[in-house]
Amino acid sequence: MRTFISIDLPEQVRDSIAQVSREFTGDGVILVDKSVMHLSLHFLGDLDNDQIEVVKESMNGIKAKSFEVGIRGLDFFNPSFLKVIFARVTDGAAECTDIYNQISDSLVSKGIPMEEREYTPHVTIARVKRVRNPRAIVSQIRSHSDTDFGKFTASSVKLKYSELTPEGPIYTDLYELKF
């Protein structure tokens, strides 16, 4: 099962992000549908049922309280290989990173490998395929470097199953840890 851990976004934040993301349509940019936008914590990949139980157990070990999350500005991971456009997490980034680290440490100790790249709390808004003018897209992203998409209180994390379909991904909640 293709899985990930995330924090759900309230509708008003998703609406705000989607309004700006529409500016990126065309030229090889594939927008994330606002109904499935989420704050990414961990992409876990394909897990079997036993591994999913280990993830749930690890999630239960998270020590966290509800916290304020602010989403502000657009960015990208690698300017020389533009692949993902995302909204930055400003307020609450430290709390997201702490939860990420708690889950990573627990899963690694239980034999489930984790990505080795540095974690950046974010909301993916688009994936970039072959584009004719990447400089124009980078310029457009930078024009929204300080756009405020809103704030909300994060009070849970969810383990989700991701089914890829030709119409886009379908996400199903497998487990929720409230804090």
For the annotated catalytic residues, the residue numbers are 38, 122
Report in angstroms the alpha-carbon separations of 13 from 16, 75, 76, 91, 178. 5, 17, 19, 14, 20
Cα 7–chain centre separation: 8
Dihedral, 81, 91, 40, 30 alpha carbons, nearest 10: -50
Count of all residues that appear for the chain in the document: 179
